[in-house]
Amino acid sequence: MIERPPTLPEIARAVKPGSRGAKLLAVLERLDKSQWWSGEALREHQFRQLGELLAHAARTVPFYHQRFETAKVDAAGPMGPDVWRKIPLLTRRDIQKAGNSLRSRKVPAGHGRLGVAQTSGSTGMPVKLNTTERTRFLWNAFMIRDHLWHRRVFGEKYAAIRKFPSHVASYPKGKHAKSWSPAIGGLFGSGPAAGLGIDASVKQQAEWLGREDPVYLQTYPSNLRHLAVYCERHGIELARLAEVITFGELFDPETREICRRVWNVPVTDMYSSEEVGYIALQCPDHAHYHVQAENVLVEILDDGGEPSAPGEIGKVVVTHLHNYASPFIRYDIGDFAEVGEDCACGRRLPVLRSILGRTRNMLQTPSGDRYWPFFGARTFTEIAPILQHQFVQKTADVIEGRLVAERALTEHEEERLRRHILSRLPYPFKLVFTYHDEIPRSAGGKYEDFISEIAG
């Protein structure tokens, strides 16, 4: 183990030939080269892969067989931007309606065992899909690319405050591991890791961090903000902290200033999702993001479906190049992003200047404690035919649950839903359900699953 960031050749020397780490190393070495490819070479490479993905989807995914036929898309012919743009966007509602018809009937053997991924429902419409060994493997490869880009010292302590499976990383102890992750451990020695569930209050998080004293901290931007301000007010110092890594929601640049002021550390953000993994990573030299073009095709489109130009904001449409189990083709992920100019770092991976529309607020209990709210949305559909939800904290002790459902819920279903939600919240709020045809986005195009009307 070394006390500075490892280089790829150093990692290569540490990896046993023929091991799982060796396979990962081979991908990292390819990514190390492709980040310097020209924009043209990247696009060519992407469209070759998209052509294969489309042909596979037409052959083995009933939903796409139908969709390509209706849209008159020749999935077996030559693939280029003109053919591509004839494909209708895939919405969350499409995915919910399509169910199993969006899954491949025949995943090529080389893609390995299937797994399941599910969005947390932060958009109000949870999405479930199949992953493969290949997609999970690539997830790890891009995670390590992020560490290498940002020159992290693998021997140091890494702490994460995020969502963990229930009770795995509860306060006061949290969870501990020898290595940052099994994938990194198999590749190169890495330092200890600690994790704390995001259901801990900000006060508890700060106390835990003081005890753990990590070099790296990973958490959600809105949580980070409250945490930094709390530490500042209460004189809690994190002497060894060198960098904060954020993910999972809208990143407000002001958070960077706060962390600089309170801890004198930089913040590195990333843009990822359960559905497609890493979408964009922050440039090693700048505050903007590079699309992970070897993993996903990202299109930023205006209201008319035309590509947005640098400086313009458009909707984010993604296609995972490698998921052959649940191909999401031109998937409208529900975010908005601003297109950036080519980056001065020399990488031609497309630039996103900022990502918008992933915002959440925090819940406040009548005693003033703040929490990241979780409503147990993953299992809503097991209770009643709910399509979309949004929660609004109206007063110190009243929460409105806005629901879009296929039909009105029975009294019994409402009662089960209420009990389920209240079991996830830190205080016995009064929960009032209201029914809607649709829950619209905010003026800025954002959808929030939780809005606090008393935040401040």
Cβ burial of 134 (10 Å; 0-12, 13-18, 19+) is middle
Burial 85-118 (b: 16+ CB within 10 A, else e): eebeebebebbbebeeebbbeebeeebbeeeebe
Contacting residue, 196, 283, 362, 386, with Zn ion by CB under 5 A: 283
Beta carbon of residue 347, minimum distance to Zn ion (angstroms, whole number)? 5
From the list 209-217, 338-346, 383-391, 393-401, the region that binds Zn ion by CB under 5 A is 338-346
| Cβ distance to Zn ion smaller for residue 340 or 357 | 340
**Rounded CA separation 408/437 (Å):** 11
From the list 141-149, 160-168, 336-344, 408-416, the region that binds Zn ion by CB under 5 A is 336-344
Long-range CB pairs of 294-302 (<8 Å, 24+ gap) are 294/30, 294/31, 294/34, 294/42, 294/45, 294/321, 295/138, 295/142, 295/320, 295/321, 295/322, 296/320, 296/321, 297/46, 297/50, 297/321, 298/350, 298/352, 299/330, 300/337, 300/339, 300/352
From the list 55-63, 130-138, 144-152, 283-291, the region that binds Zn ion by CB under 5 A is 283-291
User: What crossing angle do the helices spanning 133-149 and 20-34 adopt, rounded to 10°?
Assistant: 60
Spell out, one character per residue from 345 to 384, where the chain touches Zn ion: x when CB under 5 A holds, - when not: x-x-------------------------------------
| Cβ distance to Zn ion smaller for residue 279 or 383 | 279
In 3D space, the residue among 199, 207, 93 whose CA is nearest the CA of residue 439 turns out to be 93
Contacting residue, 267, 343, 362, 409, with Zn ion by CB under 5 A: 343
Distances in Å between the Cα of 261 and the Cα atoms of 29, 208, 264 are 37, 21, 6
Neighbours of 177 (CB within 10 A): 14
Beta carbon of residue 272, minimum distance to Zn ion (angstroms, whole number)? 18
From the list 266-274, 282-290, 415-423, 440-448, the region that binds Zn ion by CB under 5 A is 282-290
| Cβ distance to Zn ion smaller for residue 24 or 355 | 355
Beta carbon of residue 343, minimum distance to Zn ion (angstroms, whole number)? 3
Beta carbon of residue 39, minimum distance to Zn ion (angstroms, whole number)? 13
| Cβ distance to Zn ion smaller for residue 14 or 345 | 345
Beta carbon of residue 30, minimum distance to Zn ion (angstroms, whole number)? 19
Spell out, one character per residue from 414 to 433, where the chain touches Zn ion: x when CB under 5 A holds, - when not: --------------------
333 binds Zn ion (CB under 5 A): no
* Contact footprint for Zn ion (CB under 5 A): 283, 343, 345, 347
